[in-house]
Amino acid sequence: MNASAVKNPPKKKQLSKAQQILNEADASLLDLVDHVLNKGVFIDGEVLLGLANVDLVYLRLSALLCAADRVAKT
């Protein structure tokens, strides 16, 4: 065994809070929803439907999902 490997063990990769919740054996949907509401999630997307280089339908979605007390601070 190499002496440097004993002195300097490999560092573990730090996981985000969401990854930690999902990796736990007893993680539930309630834990995931609780985490999302506490931190908040912003979703932004676009869809463009066209035919023969003619844009027919353009959809844009922007949504903020979080607890109400996170948005409006009193």
pLDDT tens per residue, range 8-57: 656 667 777 777 766 665 667 777 778 778 888 888 999 999 999 898 99
Q: Where are the beta strands (DSSP E) in the chain?
A: 41-51, 54-65
Judge whether 3 lies within some domain. no
**Three-class SS state of 25:** coil
pLDDT over threshold 90, residue 5: no
- The reported pTM is 0.42
- State the residue range of the domain holding 25: 15-71
Number of folded domains in the chain? 1
Cβ contact 41:61 at 8 Å: no
Strands 41-51 and 54-65: antiparallel
Cβ contact 46:60 at 8 Å: yes
Judge whether 41 lies within some domain. yes
**Which of the four pLDDT bands, split at 50, 70 and 90, describes residue 72?**
low
Task: State residue 56's pLDDT score.
Answer: 93
